[in-house]
Structure 1
Amino acid sequence: MKYPLTAPKSQDQRERLLRLLVTATFLIFFQAYMVAPLIPHLAVAFKVSSQTIGLIVPAYLIPYGIGSLIYGFLSDQIGRRRIILTSLLAFVVLTCFTTTAQSASQLIFWRFLTGLCASGVIPLALTLIGDIYPYERRGRPMGWIFGAMAGGMAFGSTFGALLEPLITWRGIFLGVGILGALVLSLLYLQRHLLGNATRSTINNIRDLLATYKMLLGSGRGRRTYAYVLLNGIFHSGVYTWLGLYFQQRYGLGEVGIGLALLGYGVPGFLLGPMIGCAVDRWGRSWLLPTGFAIAGVAAAILMFHLPLVVAAVAVTLLSLGYDMTQPLLAGIVTSLGGKRGGQAMGLNVFTLFIGFGVGSFLFGEVLRLGLSAALFLFAAIVLVAALAAIPLFRSEAPNVVSSSERT
């Protein structure tokens, strides 16, 4: 039996659990990305350079990826419930503590600690979907989860900029912490839906490494995780610095930046479930290359000095490219791990968030050559990847459930 012994049995229970996980996911991504448009403001407030304060992004995302690797493994040993609830509690407490930062280094420290401790929710939410939904029906719930991620990014970026002048950045962190406590309370009341059975036992480090070898040993596993890494590098690299882009290119302030970034996340927030249904019906073989191509074209558009409304539309297309790739790759990952799905998804989120952190850092470094040069380099790489994805993912047709059927 693949599913946890205490997994939701009925459709109503599955949908109730899905709604709670979607809400938690939205809030976590809201917190993660509400700082991106504040980079120019925080640089002035703490009297440091944009590159220095920009480290608050990789300082959160890289530890998040490392933590997800650990929590995915642990969840296979002690169950999903304990990890999800403890990690969400850490998110609430550490988000509130972030308000005490008095310097850039302290803010970076709290972001680092939050990323490391709070990274057990979303990976295990995705793993639970793999536990309780059959492979051919995972597209829609995956679409909801990734739609919540996209919506959190969009609304976090926008309202982070809009609310800062009203309640300060400290007030925003405190408000998110309070909302997180409410979500935690609701999820705790429904904790029986999270499952609590031990699923697998790894007796030594050799068994642990053998699982990773198995995940990366097939061509399907290698190409999937490689594209997860590339996707993280590309999207975080471009997105993290869009606030600075709109400030320098169009002279926008915080409110203007927030509104310009609103389009990022809207496609996933509105269309995520529809994209998921399309995946369930038609498979991933053509949707994945198309998503990468859309993202590359969007980044290329941003290279040019075009009217502001065109740049805002390009940001929306950039988001659509993410929404047509990352949920699909995560769906493949759910079929790779077998009885150790937590470890498989932990490796997925580790790879993605390492890409997020590395991407924001690399784009910041290439930015020394200019905005257009950085956008050109990132766009060119992902467009080449889009072409390569056509033959690499041609086997990802619908109605193929077992990973053993693909190599």
Structure 2
Amino acid sequence: RVGLIVPAYLIPYGIATLVFGLLADRLGIHRVMFASLAAFAILTALTATAASIEQIALWRVLTGLGASGVVPLGLALVGRLYPYEQRGRPLGWLFGAMAGGMAFGSPAGAMLVPFVGWQGLFLVVGAAGAGILLLFLPYRRIIAAAVQPVAGTFGDLFRGYKSLLGTPRGQRTYGYVLVNSMFHSGVFTWLGVYFEQRHGVGPVGVGLALLGYGVPGFLLGPMIGRAADRWGRARLLPLGLALSAVAAALLILGFPLILAPVVAMLLSLGYDMTQPLFGGIVTSLGGKRPGQAMGLNVFMLFVGMGLGSLIFGEMLRFGFEVSLGLFTMVELGLAAMSIRLFRSEVVQVRSS
């Protein structure tokens, strides 16, 4: 039941990005982004009022719906501020911050709860969101100038999605974003349960074991992005997918607990060498509607994360070996196919 809280946030988040992307193209990225960040801060703080798992899940659904204008529009903004051949580094920073937040938040939450309670944790995160909103309000004019609103009808909307998914480049990129996010979310969401069952560690120990997950993205994200800009995404994507599969395979084989952060780090490195690179490709697909293109990307990303968490959790009735084995084989298959499918993603690729 507690495991359902994760997809309760991620799936509505992904679905709502389609709406926020459209609104951003029509109303302006800065308006929608700041309104969404305000909704995140308020709804996260209100989650502290929940009196049951069901109420927490409901608040997480509402928070996912309200907060989903931040990440996709941040990615779309990068696409407007930097040319395609220079987007790798800023996208590396952005995805590295996402991975670092997940990794550092896990041990921080486990260590803070004994002192502030789980309700206090939601209040702290809500207050942090409000602080970030106030910090970035002075930059609203810069953001507004970077991306001008685009008028259009619902017919234009559907034609936009048809255009994004109507080319082989768009189909393979969005497809990989979906399946790759299912893999990473499925494995990472249940990694704490794995360490608890296999090694008997408590909440703080689980948090420390997961700490390595954010290190590669936090430290190496910009370097990975720069490498993609310099050598092309065709060389890095297969390697990143293969590293992810290797990390999952190590979980099947087993290892000393002291190496848990290293395995988490390897899993994270696989993520940092794939999803940001896919995001860079998507920023070149949107044309005059970057919000719509990135909204579809984040829809695939977060819906994939929610589905991956659900599927992996359901498969756990057959044991970790079966779940990890299936996810590993799928990721290895993606790695093998990516060598051919993304061979055209070399430096300065401009079209399909």
Interval of TM-score (by shorter of Structure 1 and Structure 2): over 0.9
Partner of 2:232: 283
**In structure 2, how many angstroms separate the alpha carbons of the residues matched to 1:137 and 1:168?**
44
1:292 to 241, 258, 265: 241
Amino acid across the alignment from 1:167: V
Partner of 1:122: 71
- Once the two structures are superposed, residues 244-292 of structure 1 have per-residue CA deviations (whole angstroms, 9 ceiling, x without a partner) of 1111000000110000000111100010011111011001001001000
**In structure 2, how many angstroms separate the alpha carbons of the residues matched to 1:325 and 1:305?**
25
Amino acid across the alignment from 2:150: S
Amino acid across the alignment from 2:281: I
| Mapping 1:265-280, distance limit 5 Å | 265-280=214-229
2:210/2:260 contact within 8 Å kept: no
Partner of 1:199: 149
Q: How high is the TM-score relative to the length of structure 2? A: 0.98
Amino acid across the alignment from 2:216: P
| Mapping 1:1-400, distance limit 5 Å | 52-195=1-144, 198-203=148-153, 205-400=154-349
Moved more, 268-277 or 167-176: 167-176
- Once the two structures are superposed, residues 308-348 of structure 1 have per-residue CA deviations (whole angstroms, 9 ceiling, x without a partner) of 12333111100000000000000000000100111000000
Moved more, 218-227 or 369-378: 369-378
Amino acid across the alignment from 2:205: G
Amino acid across the alignment from 2:67: A
Amino acid across the alignment from 1:261: L
**In structure 2, how many angstroms separate the alpha carbons of the residues matched to 1:102 and 1:260?**
30
1:136/1:399 contact within 8 Å kept: yes
Shift of 1:53: 1.1
Amino acid across the alignment from 1:53: V
**In structure 2, how many angstroms separate the alpha carbons of the residues matched to 1:291 and 1:200?**
36
1:65/1:351 contact within 8 Å kept: yes
Shift of 1:198: 4.1
Shift of 1:189: 2.1
1:301/1:311 contact within 8 Å kept: no
Shift of 1:182: 1.1
Amino acid across the alignment from 1:301: L
- Once the two structures are superposed, residues 157-190 of structure 1 have per-residue CA deviations (whole angstroms, 9 ceiling, x without a partner) of 1211121122111111111111111111111122
Shift of 1:192: 1.2
SS at structure 2 position matched to 1:338: coil
2:182/2:307 contact within 8 Å kept: yes
SS at structure 2 position matched to 1:262: helix
| Structure 2 gaps, min length 5 | none
SS at structure 2 position matched to 1:303: helix
**In structure 1, how many angstroms separate the alpha carbons of the residues matched to 2:170 and 2:339?**
16
- Once the two structures are superposed, residues 219-263 of structure 1 have per-residue CA deviations (whole angstroms, 9 ceiling, x without a partner) of 000000000001110000000001111110000001100000001
Amino acid across the alignment from 1:123: P
| Structure 1 gaps, min length 5 | 1-51
2:5/2:57 contact within 8 Å kept: yes
1:233/1:356 contact within 8 Å kept: yes
What is the root-mean-square deviation of aligned Cα atoms in Å?
1.0
**In structure 2, how many angstroms separate the alpha carbons of the residues matched to 1:284 and 1:120?**
27
Amino acid across the alignment from 1:337: G
SS at structure 2 position matched to 1:377: helix
1:90/1:117 contact within 8 Å kept: yes
**In structure 1, how many angstroms separate the alpha carbons of the residues matched to 2:209 and 2:344?**
38
1:144/1:272 contact within 8 Å kept: yes
Of Structure 1 and Structure 2, the greater helix share is in 2
**In structure 1, how many angstroms separate the alpha carbons of the residues matched to 2:337 and 2:107?**
34
**In structure 1, how many angstroms separate the alpha carbons of the residues matched to 2:325 and 2:63?**
33
Q: How high is the TM-score relative to the length of structure 1? A: 0.85
**Structure 1 moving runs of 4+ over 4 Å:** none
